[in-house]
Amino acid sequence: MSQDAYKVLCDQLETRGVRVAEVKSRLKAQHIETPSWAYSDTGTRFGIYKQAGAARTLYEKIEDAALVNRLTGVARTMAVHIGWDQSDDWLGVKQYAESQGLKLGSVNPNVFQGQDYKFGAFTSEEARVRERALQAHFECIDIMRTIGSEVLSVWYGDGTNYPGQGDFRRRKRHLLACLREVYSRLQGKETILVEYKFFEPAFYHTDIADWGLAYLLASNLGEQAKVLVDLGHHAHGVNIEHIVAVLLDEGKLGGFHFNNRKYADDDLTVGSINPYELFLIYCELAADEVASREVAYMVDQCHYLKPKTEEMIQTIANLQSAYAKALIVNRTRLKEAQLGRDLVAAENELVRAFNTDVQPLLEEVREEMGCPRDPLEAFRKGGYLEKAIQARSSKTAS
């Protein structure tokens, strides 16, 4: 039955001028990094909620991320957040991950939680605090080299709450000077991804508030510095796909933090609130395969209501679906319609792809990759959550 659906879809797509074999090979090359922090207990700013079976240690986070990878085939790396993830044996951590078929990915310094950072990290007026933040970055670079990662992914909570609280220009100079020191330590293909966010925790101004500021800093640093787009970090109505297109065209799109939001930085499942926006973002990525191959695709979500591993599997499926739909847009026809000022045809080319049920294609791709056709069902039938609950409640975390 599902094979029939696959054949019907293939015929339909080929008739529409889509090369199915090419789409399949691009889907197989898709790579999505999951974050270690999505596997452990989280919550809201009002409190943390415990989930039975949630990972308690870095090793358990690795086990969960590795399971998501085994079931989906595309979540080959896991990001670590230094501070939240601690170890005095990173080589051992790396080896454990590899024994599970997983690699460790981007390394994220945490310079937003310590008491010292209350008034900023790299923008602090205190040299001692800036130095402490620098040391945190240097530690991350050391960890990167031990675990075999080439991505340093940075985000700062730096900002002010009141007019007059800080000097914008002095803060900018401190920030750039510190970032330059970090950048000067990078070697070879190592890159620094600069993430922006328009507010929170600061409410009057944020030092890296938007893609323009992140781009400015990255440009000042050099080629190995790029911009990271977190989908929850924009004001309402901002056209993220436009930002993505511009950054790609400039060779400055470094990475994504996928999630979705209704109001602010809600960290909901990507594609759960606005799947069309996600599709349009993927359309821009799919339009420039060469540049988009260099992008680090990462998830940054907080799953405290849905079961964590299930939600991550759902997240991956949503990202696969958005990418598949973007890949079946007929770009020749889209361009013709654009040049011919046929707005209706141009829009419909996108809408038709978005409305296509790509599940039979994704199922086939997964099977060819040796993964379950329906990873969520495989997770549920495999009793993985029950096993985690048992294992993680019967012994103390080590």
Q: Which residues contribute to the site for Mn ion (CB under 5 A)?
A: 230, 257, 300
Give me the residue whose beta carbon is nearest to Mn ion.
257
Contact call for residue 63 and ligand PSV (CB under 6 A)? no
Alpha-helical runs (H) found in the chain: 2-15, 20-28, 58-72, 90-99, 127-147, 168-184, 211-221, 240-249, 275-287, 289-293, 308-327, 331-339, 343-355, 359-368, 375-381, 384-394
Strands 225-230 and 253-258: parallel
Where in 128-187 is the site for ligand PSV (CB under 6 A)? 155
| Strand ranges of the sheet holding 34-35, from the earlier edge strand across to the other edge | 34-35, 77-82, 103-109, 151-154, 191-195, 225-230, 253-258, 296-299
Instruction: Give the residue with the Cβ less far from Mn ion, 158 or 300.
Output: 300
Selected from 197, 226, 308, 392, the binder of ligand PSV by CB under 6 A is 197
**C-beta of residue 106 within 8 angstroms of C-beta of residue 149:** yes
Contact call for residue 30 and ligand PSV (CB under 6 A)? no
Contact call for residue 303 and ligand PSV (CB under 6 A)? no
Q: Least distance to Mn ion from the beta carbon of 298, Å?
A: 8
The dihedral region occupied by 242, where left means phi > 0, alpha psi between -120 and 50, and beta the remainder, is alpha
Instruction: Give the residue with the Cβ less far from ligand PSV, 315 or 359.
Output: 315
Q: How far is Cα of residue 180 from the mean position of the Cα atoms in its chain?
A: 24
Identify what 37 binds: Mn ion, ligand PSV, none; CB under 5 to 8 Å per kind: ligand PSV
Give me the residue whose beta carbon is nearest to ligand PSV.
155
- Whether cis (ω within 30° of 0) applies to the bond prior to 201 is yes
Instruction: Give the residue with the Cβ less far from ligand PSV, 108 or 191.
Output: 108
Identify what 108 binds: Mn ion, ligand PSV, none; CB under 5 to 8 Å per kind: ligand PSV
Contact call for residue 374 and ligand PSV (CB under 6 A)? no
- Count CB atoms within 10 A of the CB of residue 336: 14
**C-beta of residue 227 within 8 angstroms of C-beta of residue 253:** yes
Contact call for residue 260 and ligand PSV (CB under 6 A)? no
Kindly report the backbone phi and psi dihedral angles of residue 150, in degrees, each rounded to the nearest multiple of 5, phi listed first. Answer: -120, 10
Q: Least distance to ligand PSV from the beta carbon of 173, Å?
A: 23
Instruction: Give the residue with the Cβ less far from ligand PSV, 18 or 79.
Output: 79
Contact call for residue 207 and ligand PSV (CB under 6 A)? no
Instruction: Give the residue with the Cβ less far from ligand PSV, 37 or 297.
Output: 37
Q: Least distance to ligand PSV from the beta carbon of 84, Å?
A: 8
Contact call for residue 311 and ligand PSV (CB under 6 A)? no
Selected from 64, 158, 195, 349, the binder of ligand PSV by CB under 6 A is 195
Instruction: Give the residue with the Cβ less far from ligand PSV, 150 or 336.
Output: 150
Contact call for residue 226 and ligand PSV (CB under 6 A)? no
| Distance in angstroms (rounded) separating the CA atoms of residues 64 and 69 | 9
Identify what 196 binds: Mn ion, ligand PSV, none; CB under 5 to 8 Å per kind: none
Tokens of 43: 């919550």
From the list 295, 303, 318, 386, the residue with the least C-alpha distance to 37 is: 303
Kindly report the backbone phi and psi dihedral angles of residue 35, in degrees, each rounded to the nearest multiple of 5, phi listed first. Answer: -95, 140
Identify what 197 binds: Mn ion, ligand PSV, none; CB under 5 to 8 Å per kind: ligand PSV
Contact call for residue 230 and ligand PSV (CB under 6 A)? yes
| Distance in angstroms (rounded) separating the CA atoms of residues 104 and 79 | 6
Q: Least distance to ligand PSV from the beta carbon of 184, Å?
A: 23
Residue 208 DSSP class? T
- Angle value at C-alpha 31, between 25 and 36, nearest 5 degrees: 160
| Distance in angstroms (rounded) separating the CA atoms of residues 134 and 270 | 32
Contact call for residue 300 and ligand PSV (CB under 6 A)? yes
List contacts with ligand PSV (CB under 6 A): 37, 108, 155, 195, 197, 230, 257, 265, 300
